[in-house]
Structure formats: structure tokens, C-alpha cells
Amino acid sequence: MKALILNSGLGRRMGVLTSEHPKCMTEISSVETIVSRQLRLLADFGIREVVMTTGSFHQVLEEYCSGLSLPLQITYVHNPRFAETNYIYSIFCARELLRGEELVLLHGDLVFESRVLEQLLGCPESCMAVSSAVPLPEKDFKAVIADGRIQAVDIHRFDSALAAQPLYHLYPEQTDLWLESIERYVARGETSCYAENALNDITDRCRILPADVGSLLCAEIDNPEDLARVTEALRQVENRRVYMCFSTDMVHAGHIAIIRRARRLGKLMIGVLSDEAVASYRRFPLLCFEDRKAMFESLAGVEQVVEQKTLSYRENLEKYRPDFVVHGDDWRTGFQQPVREEVQRLLAQWGGQLVEYPYTEDSRFQALERRARSELSLPDLRRGRLRKLLEMKHFVTALEAHSGITGLIVEKTQVYQDGKTRQFDAMWISSLCDSTAKGKPDIELVDMTSRFRTVDDILEVTTKPIIFDGDTGGLTEHFVYTVRSLERMGVSMIIIEDKTGLKKNSLFGTQVPQTQDTVAHFCEKIRAGKAAQKSRDFMICARIESLILEAGMEDALLRARAYVAAGADAIMIHSRRKEPDEILAFLKAFRETDAATPVVLVPSSYSSVTEETLRDAGANIVIYANQLTRTGFPAMQRAARSILEHHRAQECDAECMSIQEIITLIPEDL
């Protein structure tokens, strides 16, 4: 595609402003002239060849344009009869460079915002810029429109007309038809009329559509008053603020394309999602916030990069009140839909606008994204992530998983609430649920090989960090092997409880005989485990059963401090009370002397307490230890009973997950 810029006019009405150079070299901002802005925009839209007709001061103009160092090849066509002819003759002079070309044709005194050009270039048929938002001009061009196409471009006709600007996008067929008509005019010696006179003769054959640019800036500068008005309008256009948000740690061609489009709308500010927000809605970021911020700061045309702390744009939009928010159209459906709706509501408060561009699926990026995700599941990367999450968020949640499918539920379940996407950070491989799924009691009967099989099933299809319920850890001599095996598999943490002998589930409390280990012996086990692990990442958490076994708060605190001193990376305090009072009391007392060691809680019996309360009290990990098992199996029992009772399956259809849901829950590749 070529651009044809008509710069042969004298610009007499500009007075002294055109005494030393052509009108198109008039300054319209502190950094740009009409022509430099036109050329910059054309180059920005990928146009590489420009034909420019010239008249007076043609050498001044040529020198000026070549000094602009734009990636454009400009061919100058001088109209030697510029003083006595109109631009119909300039086009005639340039005709051999134009024949058969797709063209952007524009007058050299036209100032327009980039969206005008974007709209015209996006038109699949030949078109001319018109505006239904501005009053019909007395003296300038109007486009007479009938049957959805332009019938005539004229300064005298007002009926069925819209204000028109000399900016066209012409496909080769219309270019050639118009050129032939111009040649006929010139052959007849008609060289001082408008080129549009030649166009009007052929509009029955030369189909040109009106491209309504509404109130977007698109105006000619004919006199100093126009200049003042357009300069001010342009200043406002250029000062518009544009906001985009990114969570990506890889910038691909699609991102660059959308950033380029966004920055044409005004000054571009990019919100980079915080690590915590990325991890909570997508996946663990490969690059930390600072690196991602630096990456966007280095992109041309990005004025400012700020942190966006949540998936919701609210905080930043209210602070910066941008004129535009730009996004791909992919968020119209799916979990980002409420985020989008909130953005629209907020923008409406100050007349801002949401601009959406078609989302481009980039297959190479998707392959990289898949690779990043699968790398996140590699043992070395996965293992350390619990520690990193703790450092980053200070508070994480885990849900029980006992199979590949329950692992996927923990991996994929998300809700959007209060501007945030919530999902579980980690998974808990509960001894109770693992045993239950195998139809066995929770008494360390399921051996480690079998427990590892469950872990492996989950590891295979998920990426989130895993916390393994190691029961008592068994004999110290066995425990060290367990540590190494789990570490090798990519598990992040093992929790062992300070009980000895036949282990029973803690929720039995003192109803069954259970023996607490001695402090010294359990510390020995912790020390041996820590010495056995190979990496820094793996965590051993010591679980204190003093409250379960009614040994008292002092005992719990004493053990907690002793286990930390023995090298435990975290402690877990358990309770079977209905209320969280003893847990809160423990946290208060423990935090008085230890602010750093992560504390793990399992609020199964005291389930009414919220995460926020526990976090504020000093907890770092909350494990929902058995809820998938306890909800899943009753549903299965109901289905089994229903089929038996009704002698058919239909009655339980309503409770069944659709095949579609099953298919989407289980990805084809991970």
C-alpha cells in the first residue's frame, strides 16, 4: 500500500505562516508539524512508500522530510504548474506511480488522530472519512450519501450529506477508475477544479463507502484560526491516558501489536500485576514483579509502568482515571468477565472508554506457556514453590487431594470475589483421605510405596506445591528415606506428628489410646530428616499433638520451640475443639517469641473461623484437610442408593457432572 500526500497547494490563507515553507510544515505541537505527524502515523501503520506532490518551497519540504529519519521511501512529484492548477493536476503528474495501487490519499493540511487512520485502513472496501458528529461546513467538502455509498463529494450540496474530509482509502480498482477520469479532465484542459469533480462523474461505477469517524479529530488547517483550534484539540488527544494491564512474563508479537495500537490512543501506562495476583489467578510467575516491570519499561512508547495489586483494575483506574483501557477481546467470557464489567462501570464514571482489539492466539507463545507450566511441574521447580509462596504472600491455603482428579480440582478451581481471583495455593495429601480412598483406616496401614503412588498420580497432572501428611514419620531410620523420596519427587513439605506407637487419627483425640512422642526423640527425628534432605527447598513441619491429647498449652509451646530449635522449617498446631480459642491462644503466645517460623493450621473441627482471622492471628498455612473426601463420598453413596431404589440411573442424572465438564476438567496435555 502507498500513501499519496498532496502538498502542492499554496496555503495563502495561512498568511506569514507559509512565507518560508509550504503549509504542511506548519507546527502543530512543540515537536511536530502537520507533515511530520502524518508521516509518523503512516509509518506506524506499516506504510512504507509515500508519493508526495509538491509545489512552492518543494526543496525546503524535501530536505525537511528526509531529515525526519522515518522508515519511509518518499517519492516527490513536483507539479510545475502548482500556481495555476489544482491538485487534480498534481495527481495527474503522479499517476504513473499510483496506477494499480492500494492507496491512502490525503491532503497535506489534514490533521487526524490515529484512530481515524486505523478505521479507514480497517475498511474492507474503498472509503472516505466523513463525520456524522460535526455540523455540515459552509464552504468545505460534504459527501452526498445514498444507498450506503458516496454519490458525490462537493462543497455546494447539503442534502443527504455529511461533512467529509479529504482522506481516502482506495483499493486498486477505485484508484484506477479515478485516475482515468482525472486523465479525461486534464485532456480537456480542466485542471483547476477539484479532483473530486472527476470522481463525481464515475461514482456509479466507483464504489466508495463513507467511513464515519464521528467526533474523532480529523480536520484541515486552512487559516490561523483552524490552526489554533486543531492544535488545542490535538493537545487533548495526545494527552489522553491509556491504561493496560499485563500479567505475562513473556512478551510476544501479539502483545507488541496490541501495545502499538494502544499507544496510538495517547500516553500509555502499563499496570504490571503483582506476583501475588499472578500466582493467585494464573500460575506462579517465572519472572518476579521487578523483572516484569523492567521488561515493560524497556518497550518503546510505554510512558509509565505501575504495579497493579489485584486482578481488579479498580485501585489503579480510580487513581489514574485513564481515558482508555485497552484489552484483547478474549476477556468477554470466562473468569475475567466480571473484571471487564467492573472496568466498564468505572470508566463510565469519568467518560472513559474500553477499547478491545481482537485477541490473537499466538501458537508459539502458547507452546512456551505450556512449557512454562510443565516446567512448573518439574520436581526442582515445584519443590521450592511453597517456600517462595510463603515468602511472597506470607499466607497460603491448601486443599486435600487424594487422586489425580481431586488434584485437578485443587489445581483448577477458581472464584472471582471482591476484585480478586481466589484459588488454592497448594495441595495436602492427607493420610486420612488417602487411606479412606483405598478403603483403609488411618493408622499408617497404607504403606509409603502406596502413598507415593497417590502422590505420583497427582504430581503427574498438576503443578501446585504439595504438602505430604507423613503421619508419625515412622522409625527415624525409615523417615530419612521418606524425606529423600518425597524431595526427589518434587514434594515441598512433609508434616510429621509427634506421636508414637499405633497412630490413630487426631480427631479421635483421647477417645482412643494414643501416645505422644518424647520431645527428645521427636527432635532427633527432625534433625535426622533435615540432615537427610539434599536441597534447601524441602520443608519439614513438626506437628504438635499436645492440644489434641490434652497435654496443655505449656506443653504445646515448649514442644513448638524445641522442634524449631531442632531444625523444623514450620510447625503445625492441631486442635479438635469446635471453637478456635485454643489455637488463637497458642498463636498469640508462640508469636511473642517467634515471629518467623511458619505456623500451619488444620481448621477441620473449628471450621467456622475464617482464613482472615487465622492469618491476622499469625498463621501462615491453612489446610482444608478432608473436605473433598467428605463431600465426594456421600454424593457417591446417594447415587448408589438412588440407582438401587429406582432400578435405573435417571434419578441421579441431575446430580451428575456433565460429560462436557469432565472433558474440560481433564486437559489433553499438561
- List CB contacts of 535: < 8 A, sequence separation 6 or more: 380, 383, 384, 487
Closest CA to 324 of 376, 264, 281, 277: 264
- List CB contacts of 388: < 8 A, sequence separation 6 or more: 284
CB of 399 to Mg ion, least distance (A): 15
Is position 442 annotated as part of the catalytic site? yes
* In contact, 650 and 631? CB cutoff 8 Å: no
* Minimum CB distance to ligand SPV smaller for 114 or for 604: 604
CA 384, 388, 394: angle at the middle one, nearest 5?
140
Cell output for 480: 530419612
**Using the rule CB under 6 A, is 505 a contact of ligand SPV?**
yes
List the one residue from 68, 70, 134, 507 that touches ligand SPV (CB under 6 A).
507
Q: From 200-208, 216-224, 293-301, 505-513, give the range in contact with ligand SPV by CB under 6 A.
A: 505-513
Q: From 106-114, 229-237, 500-508, 526-534, give the range in contact with ligand SPV by CB under 6 A.
A: 500-508
**Using the rule CB under 6 A, is 203 a contact of ligand SPV?**
no
SS3 at position 292? helix
Q: Which does 604 bind (CB under 5 to 8 A by kind): ligand SPV, Mg ion, none?
A: ligand SPV
Q: Which does 163 bind (CB under 5 to 8 A by kind): ligand SPV, Mg ion, none?
A: none
* In contact, 72 and 62? CB cutoff 8 Å: no
**Using the rule CB under 5 A, is 444 a contact of Mg ion?**
no
* Minimum CB distance to ligand SPV smaller for 463 or for 604: 604
CB of 402 to Mg ion, least distance (A): 11
SS3 at position 112? strand
* Minimum CB distance to ligand SPV smaller for 46 or for 634: 634
**Using the rule CB under 5 A, is 469 a contact of Mg ion?**
yes
Closest CA to 544 of 535, 536, 554, 534: 554
User: Considering 323, 425, 442, 537, which one is annotated as catalytic?
Assistant: 442
- C-alpha–C-alpha distance, residues 574 and 310, integer Å: 32
Q: For residue 342, with 0-12 CB atoms within 10 Å meaning exposed, 13-18 middle and 19 or more buried, which class applies?
A: middle
List the one residue from 109, 113, 469, 487 that touches ligand SPV (CB under 6 A).
469
* In contact, 120 and 21? CB cutoff 8 Å: no
**Using the rule CB under 5 A, is 431 a contact of Mg ion?**
yes
How many Cα atoms sit within 13 Å of 552 on the Cβ side? 3
- C-alpha–C-alpha distance, residues 106 and 128, integer Å: 10
Q: From 196-204, 402-410, 463-471, 613-621, give the range in contact with Mg ion by CB under 5 A.
A: 463-471
Closest CA to 466 of 445, 494, 492, 448: 492
CB of 501 to ligand SPV, least distance (A): 16
- C-alpha–C-alpha distance, residues 370 and 376, integer Å: 10
Q: Which helix (H) or strand (E) holds 23?
A: none
List the one residue from 52, 105, 211, 432 that touches ligand SPV (CB under 6 A).
432
**Using the rule CB under 5 A, is 203 a contact of Mg ion?**
no
- C-alpha–C-alpha distance, residues 272 and 246, integer Å: 5
**Using the rule CB under 6 A, is 431 a contact of ligand SPV?**
yes
- C-alpha–C-alpha distance, residues 248 and 271, integer Å: 11
* Minimum CB distance to ligand SPV smaller for 234 or for 548: 548
- List CB contacts of 128: < 8 A, sequence separation 6 or more: 143, 150, 153, 164, 165, 167, 168, 208, 209, 210, 211
**Using the rule CB under 5 A, is 545 a contact of Mg ion?**
no
Q: From 62-70, 119-127, 390-398, 428-436, give the range in contact with ligand SPV by CB under 6 A.
A: 428-436
* Minimum CB distance to Mg ion smaller for 7 or for 431: 431
How many Cα atoms sit within 13 Å of 654 on the Cβ side? 2
- List CB contacts of 302: < 8 A, sequence separation 6 or more: 259, 263, 268, 269, 270, 296
Number of residues that bind Mg ion (CB under 5 A): 3
**Using the rule CB under 6 A, is 625 a contact of ligand SPV?**
yes
**Using the rule CB under 6 A, is 458 a contact of ligand SPV?**
no
**Cross-strand pairs, 515:** 500
**Using the rule CB under 6 A, is 604 a contact of ligand SPV?**
yes
CB of 497 to Mg ion, least distance (A): 7
Cell output for 433: 483421605
Q: Which does 126 bind (CB under 5 to 8 A by kind): ligand SPV, Mg ion, none?
A: none
**Using the rule CB under 6 A, is 506 a contact of ligand SPV?**
yes
* Minimum CB distance to ligand SPV smaller for 46 or for 441: 441
Q: Which does 248 bind (CB under 5 to 8 A by kind): ligand SPV, Mg ion, none?
A: none
* Minimum CB distance to ligand SPV smaller for 85 or for 505: 505
**Using the rule CB under 6 A, is 493 a contact of ligand SPV?**
no
* Minimum CB distance to ligand SPV smaller for 126 or for 431: 431
* In contact, 193 and 86? CB cutoff 8 Å: yes
**Using the rule CB under 6 A, is 182 a contact of ligand SPV?**
no
List the one residue from 119, 430, 533, 575 that touches ligand SPV (CB under 6 A).
430
Q: Which does 626 bind (CB under 5 to 8 A by kind): Mg ion, ligand SPV, none?
A: ligand SPV
**Using the rule CB under 6 A, is 546 a contact of ligand SPV?**
no
CB of 452 to ligand SPV, least distance (A): 16
* Minimum CB distance to ligand SPV smaller for 584 or for 625: 625
Q: From 129-137, 428-436, 587-595, 633-641, give the range in contact with Mg ion by CB under 5 A.
A: 428-436
Q: Using the Cα atoms of residue 406, residue 407, residue 408 and residue 409 in order, give the sign of their dihedral.
A: positive
Binding interface with Mg ion (CB under 5 A) = 431-432, 469
Catalytic residues: 442
Binding interface with ligand SPV (CB under 6 A) = 430-432, 442, 469, 505-507, 602, 604, 625-626
